[in-house]
Structure 1
Amino acid sequence: MKHPYRIREIAAQAGLSEATVDRVLHERGGVRDSTVREVRQAIADLDRQQSQVRLGGRTFMVDVVMQAPARFTAAIKGALEAELPALRPAVIRSRFHLFDGPADLPGVLAKVGRSRSQGVILKAPDTPEVVEAVGHLGVPVVTLVTDLPTSKRVAYVGIDNADAGATAAYLVEQWLAERAGDVLVVRGRGSFRGEDERLGGFRAEMGRRAPNRRLLEVVDEEDRSVAVHERTRAVLDRNPSVRAVYSMYAGAGGNAAVVGAFAAAGRNYDVFVAHDLDDENTALLRTHAISAVLHHDLRADVRHACLAVMRAQGALPGRLRSNPSAIQVITPFNTPPVEF
């Protein structure tokens, strides 16, 4: 049982004799399992206390750089503000660089690199220019929700997007069962690896479970819900066999536009799986317009991102690693009362 503490310190923390602690540490036997757990807990407590001493009075300036719809960036800001008390005694100060649409992210990152930043939480498309800009930064970068695996980021936080896509395929097939029908797949524009991985996971699992089903894509190239409605309606008019929807779309009003397109065409669907429990999707869930939402705890993601920055700065012990979030399946019957 590795530790940097004196037996006297562990014994005092655990409320045990030094002889008992010595016996546990050297695995000599003759002690109860509960006593072993007490010694391990004492070491964990000492680790935490030591970390708090290192963090006490330290302030970390973290830049949050995100290209995402306004409703998502608002959720991230709220999640970070809610998590700040849990990060004490460290103090996190944040600067937000939020873009609801295309932006000069390499230029923004270069500006951040010239500031007194101590870390960056980044949601950005996986392009060579962004990857290169991350490489030029002299501070730790943590990617959020969508990854840049070939960049010099120190960790990724968020769900495993390929697994999320496979989960969506599983749910679609559970709902459709043996019924025939094709699947409408709705996604946004851009080169976000997260959406690419979701689509890849969905395609692979659907191919395994239902190789005869067609996947018909609607891609919003304009970030407009009106365009989503029009393109969905066009696909429905050409394909009377569509019976299911998987939406990775993050733009405001997008999923409501898909629901409206089905209604305008006088068509029904058997299952609609979407992502992220925002206000819009919550409302659609409660009216049963959406069957299920794949969600992850944004507060936990933001907390892990901040801890990764502090760990990269040497303020916390432990190995830096990516931290995938649990995929939560939210239905109309377990929708939480408070979103994000």
Structure 2
Amino acid sequence: MDKLKEHIRIVDIARMAGVSAGTVDRVLHNRGKVSEENLRRIREVLSAVDYQPNLVARSLASSRERTLAVIIPSFREGDYWADVDAGISRAAVGAERFNVRVRRFFFDQYDHATFLRTLARVRDEHFDGVLLATLFADLVVAYAHELDAEGIPYVFVDSNIAGCNRLAYFGTSSADAGCVAARLLADRIAPDADILVGSIVHRGDGGSNQCRSREAGFRDYLGRAGFRGRLLGVSLRLDDEAYNRRVLDELFVRNPRIAGAVTFNSTCYILANYLRASGRDGVRLVGYDVIPRNREMLEAGVVTALVAQRPAAQGYHGVMALCDMLVSGRRGPTDNLMPIDIVLRENVQFYNSHII
């Protein structure tokens, strides 16, 4: 029966319903009048065979062009968001076959104000769907309510936000990803050693929804694992190596029992650069995302492990979920959790962050 469903044709549906192929065509494309009796018979057959119209054929039958807004952080080559954008670009090529266009809007991930300005630009135009990075949770929730009121479907990537009427989420369970990082450290240091928790600040505001969720999962795991050491928070600057060195030198002098370190975003190379330059090779460092600068430090043995989340797949499947909804009306699963990959020095050569 599954093979039959794959090859079901309009003429087959017409034969089973006892109507003409033209009548079935009018029902499938919602054009022209059809009697209530014929409509009932056709719908019964469609339900029985689980008919799924070809996506390309449906889009070609309509001359309407749809446009998606993609709202993600700006990035430089080699950044985490460059990998997400690579997946979006691949999906955009496929979406064009269905008369769906993708437009990108960027904001500074360290600055709430730029996110608000970006939303203002999006509001000035009409879009049929939105893919949204969820770094600033409170602002995202408010915007999601606006989209709900307008009946515009939207997809979340990066991290999930409960209570929103999203079409889908593509990403990891951030809290579980935090637990994984904690396990990777706890297995390598003494239970009473101290752990440095680095947060990276830039201009404006810092701290994303995902980072907060990861840190919550990290702390929860250590609490359950009987960890007795201290978590020592430190704020570092994105592009100020001299400042970071001064702050970290003072921290290590005051706290000689630091044996582990973690960052909850993709910038663990900042801590790694310091550890290598200062000769602190006894500190186990865990970070997130296999971007080139993190990968270099992992291969050099400065970073102990990286937790990865298939960023290109998030971007690709997020766009295609919106495309499928707009063209065919199909809704897939709401929560689409990416695997939480553990990347070590021994297996990094096999890891591809562009995997779809």
Q: TM-score, normalised by structure 2?
A: 0.73
> What secondary structure does 2:347 align onto?
coil
Given candidates 142, 165, 168, the residue that maps to 1:132 is: 142
Q: How many residues align?
A: 300
* 1:168–1:202 CA contact under 8 A, matched in 2: yes
2:261 corresponding residue in structure 1: 245
1:301 corresponding residue in structure 2: 314
Q: Hey, what's the Cα distance between the residues in 2 that align with 1:287 and 1:92?
A: 44
* 1:73–1:98 CA contact under 8 A, matched in 2: no
Which amino acid in 2 is paired with 1:217? G
Shift of 1:228: 3.9
Given candidates 76, 83, 93, the residue that maps to 2:101 is: 93
Q: Hey, what's the Cα distance between the residues in 2 that align with 1:297 and 1:91?
A: 27
1:223 corresponding residue in structure 2: 238
Given candidates 185, 189, 194, the residue that maps to 2:197 is: 185
* 1:233–1:261 CA contact under 8 A, matched in 2: no
* 1:181–1:241 CA contact under 8 A, matched in 2: yes
* 1:109–1:134 CA contact under 8 A, matched in 2: no
**Which piece of structure 1 moves more, 267-276 or 197-206?**
267-276
**Which piece of structure 1 moves more, 317-326 or 87-96?**
87-96
1:82 corresponding residue in structure 2: 90
Question: After superposition, what is the alpha-carbon deviation per residue over 1:102-132, rounded to whole angstroms, capped at 9, x for unaligned?
Answer: 2432342233133232222112433544432
1:32 corresponding residue in structure 2: none
**Which piece of structure 1 moves more, 148-157 or 319-328?**
148-157
Q: Hey, what's the Cα distance between the residues in 1 that align with 2:228 and 2:181?
A: 17
Residue 11 to residue 124, structure 1, CA distance change in 2 (3 Å): closer
| Bigger RCO (CA 8 Å, 6+ sep) | 2
Shift of 1:233: 2.7
Percent identity of equivalent pairs: 21
* 1:184–1:246 CA contact under 8 A, matched in 2: yes
Q: Hey, what's the Cα distance between the residues in 2 that align with 1:76 and 1:83?
A: 11
**Which piece of structure 1 moves more, 275-284 or 317-326?**
317-326
Question: After superposition, what is the alpha-carbon deviation per residue over 1:121-171, rounded to whole angstroms, capped at 9, x for unaligned?
Answer: 112433544432332233222121033434453332111100000011111
Question: After superposition, what is the alpha-carbon deviation per residue over 1:216-254, rounded to whole angstroms, capped at 9, x for unaligned?
Answer: 11223x53352444433332121111111112133xxx4
Shift of 1:67: 3.1
Unaligned runs of 5+ in 1: 14-42
> What secondary structure does 1:95 align onto?
strand
Which amino acid in 1 is paired with 2:146? H
Unaligned runs of 5+ in 2: 9-48
> What secondary structure does 2:188 align onto?
helix
Given candidates 174, 186, 196, the residue that maps to 2:212 is: 196
RMSD: 3.1
Which amino acid in 2 is paired with 1:288? G
Q: Hey, what's the Cα distance between the residues in 2 that align with 1:320 and 1:153?
A: 11
Q: TM-score, normalised by structure 1?
A: 0.76
